Amino acid sequence: MTKPRTIIVLPAYNASQTLQATLDEIPSGCADEILLVDDASQDGTAELAESLGLTVIRHEKNRGYGGNQKTCYTEALARGADRIVMVHPDDQYDARVLPHMLGLLDLEICDVILGSRIRTRKEALQGGMPLHKYLGNRGLTILENMLLGQNLGEFHSGLRAYRREVLETIPFLENREDFAFDSQLLVQAVHFGFRLGDLPVGVRYFPEASSIGFLHGMSYIGGTLSALGAYLLHHSGLVKHRLFREPSPEASNASGR
């Protein structure tokens, strides 16, 4: 059988101080290509990435975290990826777990794998997760598991791996271009019947690591609740929401669904 093509995507914004450390933790041989999308950084991130041999795509204007991911996934699919892994280039997540995440995709146990930072409360807090973020993460994850019929350790990880079929099927270009993109994508994955799973991942919190501020955090919570509301309304038959638009016959045939 042909070895599946794996592309790691790095949605980057001002990541020059942490990019090298992130790359150092990615196990050799687990990716055929590493693609960095630079969201109009002002610290030389794109130039550094090019010097390190990465494939680099630049946004002339900042589009936001979700807008960055739209480019990441569109380009990865166009480049023939069978498996797409998103790694934040801020060295917050321990990328050494990538072979295990990919293995779960290859065994067809899951279609989407998340790295879970919440193995235990003690471990998460001692690892540096702020208490208010821990509480928000727990509250939203419990609600999402209940409403979506899932049992994930957390819904809010920035380390994710997808089978190609997932991103071919989900209309992710309809999603918001801010941090709520992540929540919308998982709600869409549930709607289309894909199998979600997670595994524990080490995580670090330090000044250079990206973090959502208070205002962005409130917007993220609002976006997550909005996505859940859209899911419930759509499945009740009361509203047909664009987030759950069915793929075209061409896309369905291409993905084998």
Which pair of structure tokens corresponds to residue 140? 């939203």
Which pair of structure tokens corresponds to residue 171? 């209309």
Q: Measure the CA–CA gap between 160 and 154, rounded to whole angstroms.
A: 12
CATH number at residue 128: 3.90.550.10
SS3 label, residue 130: coil
Is 1 within a domain? no
Which of these, 237, 236, 215, 218, lies nearest to 226 by C-alpha position?
A: 218
pLDDT at 247 over 80: no
Is 168 within a domain? yes
Is 84 within a domain? yes
Q: What average pLDDT is seen over the chain?
A: 91
Q: Measure the CA–CA gap between 218 and 223, rounded to whole angstroms.
A: 9
pLDDT at 209 over 70: no
DSSP assigned state of 253: H
Which of these, 120, 111, 122, lies nearest to 167 by C-alpha position?
A: 111
The pLDDT-based confidence of 63 (bands split at 50, 70, 90) is: very high
Q: Measure the CA–CA gap between 92 and 12, rounded to whole angstroms.
A: 13
How many other C-beta atoms can be found within 10 angstroms of the C-beta atom of residue 155? 23
Segment 227-247 mean pLDDT: 92
Q: CA-CA distances (angstroms) from residue 194 to 14, 113, 183, 186, 200?
A: 33, 11, 15, 9, 20
Contact assessment for residue 44 and residue 58, using Cβ atoms and an 8 Å cutoff: no
The pLDDT-based confidence of 195 (bands split at 50, 70, 90) is: very high
How many other C-beta atoms can be found within 10 angstroms of the C-beta atom of residue 70? 19
Is 31 within a domain? yes
pLDDT of residue 62: 97
- Please indicate, yes or no, whether the overall pTM of this predicted structure exceeds 0.75: yes
SS3 label, residue 83: strand
Q: Which domain holds residue 208?
A: 6-255
- The tally of domains found in the chain comes to 1
SS3 label, residue 94: coil
Is 212 within a domain? yes
Is 130 within a domain? yes
Contact assessment for residue 1 and residue 106, using Cβ atoms and an 8 Å cutoff: no
